[in-house]
Chain A
């Protein structure tokens, strides 16, 4: 085909009137082009080709299911939300007395923005006070036990994207039909599961995950991924980029909180107390420093501080007395 004909075809395929003729959609255009063809019989080949291009192929257009689109939108909004939250912190650091007025106005805007977002998009927040334990049933059927001084939040309409600060035990309901995933986001990592039981703790500037059942895919904030099998313990801190991945045995030091009970294995008295410090908002003070390194294995009920103290005294043989927000620990 020569250049002239090719040009004609390109012109025809872009011509609105020609397109209407090809689609047989307007009588005037049909009449006009039929007449044109009669007067230009040597161009019939070009016209046929141009028509083929205009009509083209009809694709069977597949739409993504609207539930899926909504899920994906929620994920995007959650991402935006978590990133804008960390940006707010940066803005706070920029707070500067010299530019007090500007900063104040800026801060006002940020907080208005944040509250609007909290109420409209961020959706649901559950928070516990010191010493309070919350047993939650999420809309998707997942059960969460939230320890004291902890918080979970998720976007409205999707309780399978959780953000956790503090400590919680999850029993995720699997949805085999859709293979819907469940996510727990912390400052350090993202836990991705289908349906499992696991424990997450974000205290002490790191995130600890212990898997009881099922399997977990972890996305660490340093870009690495980890697969967990039951009995695995992974801890990761974004701050110093320290990873530890081990399988729990009778020699590993770990503590696990589930169903309102602290289970601990081979951990020091000091570590046990620091777990309690976070959930009850108390401070432990060791009068006898030797006690700090005492290795402990066992379990204590964690429903209230009094029972907790009694159990600790029994296990360690030490004396624990409460005074205001302090627990004084000494040898008996």
Chain B
């Protein structure tokens, strides 16, 4: 069993040390994901705080949850969307500006591996940001957060099949884009 899963079990049984350990284990992961969704660190931190207060106060009701990975990502995602909607409503923005999810990548987000088909972080970054938001989020959850296809399908509420297809489509686009990029840089 994964460490995170056994920590979760201890936590729902009422172990306070497991609660702290769980918090430390997930904090960076959730913080990065949340900031990518909304581009706002303070909002993300508030949402994570509230999420963990909720977990602590409702642990008896959470024993049926077997996979904390999915549960925490889904909860954070929902709570950030709720807050964003609330803010939008407060600012009385016109509905057409309601592009809640941002998911912008930056060149520092990537490490380039030797075996990778992509030569520079800037090209990769440009191409990734030109993908639709949904595809970007799938890529992020898969390769950054290390979630499996079925976990991703629960987090963003689409079928596993769609997750695989989205991944496939996105990686194909990147591959083709990279080939073009390499050709262009060779011509230049």
Q: Smallest distance from the beta carbon of B126 to chain A beta carbons, Å?
A: 14
Partner of A58, one of B112, B140, B149: B112
Q: Does A14 reach chain B (CB closer than 8 Å)?
A: yes
Partner of B143, one of A58, A75, A76: A58
Q: Smallest distance from the beta carbon of A109 to chain B beta carbons, Å?
A: 12
Task: Give the top 6 A-B pairs by smallest Cβ distance, nearest first.
Answer: A10-B164, A59-B144, A63-B28, A58-B111, A56-B143, A64-B28
Cross-chain contact B143 with A72 (CB below 8 angstroms): no
Contacts of A77 in B (CB 8 A): 20
Q: Mark A52-74, 1 if CB is under 8 A from B, else 0.
A: 11011111111110100110110
Contacts of B161 in A (CB 8 A): 10
A-B contacts, CB under 8 A, total: 92
Contacts of B144 in A (CB 8 A): 59, 61
Give bound CA distance, A52 to B53, whole Å.
40
Q: Does B120 reach chain A (CB closer than 8 Å)?
A: no
Contacts of B23 in A (CB 8 A): 69, 72-73, 76
Give bound CA distance, A60 to B121, whole Å.
11
Cross-chain contact B111 with A59 (CB below 8 angstroms): yes
Q: Smallest distance from the beta carbon of B69 to chain A beta carbons, Å?
A: 16
Cross-chain contact B139 with A57 (CB below 8 angstroms): yes
Q: Does A247 reach chain B (CB closer than 8 Å)?
A: no
Q: Does A49 reach chain B (CB closer than 8 Å)?
A: yes
Cross-chain contact B111 with A69 (CB below 8 angstroms): no
Cross-chain contact A57 with B53 (CB below 8 angstroms): no
Cross-chain contact B110 with A60 (CB below 8 angstroms): yes
Cross-chain contact A52 with B175 (CB below 8 angstroms): yes
Give bound CA distance, A49 to B53, whole Å.
43
Q: Mark A7-27, 1 if CB is under 8 A from B, else 0.
A: 001100110000000000000
What is the size, in residues, of chain B's interface with A at 8 Å between Cβ atoms?
40
Partner of A57, one of B108, B124, B149: B124
Partner of A59, one of B49, B109, B167, B172: B109
A-B contact list, 22 entries, CB within 8 Å: A6-B165, A9-B164, A9-B168, A13-B164, A49-B171, A52-B171, A52-B175, A53-B171, A55-B115, A56-B139, A57-B116, A58-B112, A58-B113, A59-B109, A59-B143, A62-B32, A72-B27, A73-B20, A73-B27, A76-B52, A80-B57, A83-B57
Q: Does A204 reach chain B (CB closer than 8 Å)?
A: no
Give bound CA distance, A28 to B115, whole Å.
21
Cross-chain contact B109 with A14 (CB below 8 angstroms): no
Chain B residues 5 to 60 lying within 8 A of chain A, measured CB to CB, are: 16, 20, 23-24, 27-28, 31-32, 45, 48-49, 52-53, 56-57
Residues on B lying within 8 angstroms of A by beta carbon are 16, 20, 23-24, 27-28, 31-32, 45, 48-49, 52-53, 56-57, 108-113, 115-118, 124, 139-140, 142-144, 149, 161, 164-165, 167-168, 171-172, 175
Give bound CA distance, A60 to B16, whole Å.
32
Contacts of A225 in B (CB 8 A): none
Nearest opposing residue in chain A for B150, CB measure: A14
Cross-chain contact B53 with A83 (CB below 8 angstroms): yes
Contacts of A56 in B (CB 8 A): 139, 142-143, 171
Partner of B111, one of A9, A60, A73, A120: A60
Give bound CA distance, A290 to B89, whole Å.
54
Cross-chain contact A53 with B110 (CB below 8 angstroms): no
Chain A residues 39 to 56 lying within 8 A of chain B, measured CB to CB, are: 49, 52-53, 55-56
Nearest opposing residue in chain B for A65, CB measure: B28
Partner of B168, one of A53, A64, A72: A53
Give bound CA distance, A83 to B48, whole Å.
17
Nearest opposing residue in chain A for B148, CB measure: A14
Give bound CA distance, A145 to B172, whole Å.
65
Contacts of A80 in B (CB 8 A): 53, 56-57
Cross-chain contact A72 with B113 (CB below 8 angstroms): no
Give bound CA distance, A77 to B139, whole Å.
34
Give bound CA distance, A62 to B145, whole Å.
11
Contacts of A61 in B (CB 8 A): 28, 32, 144
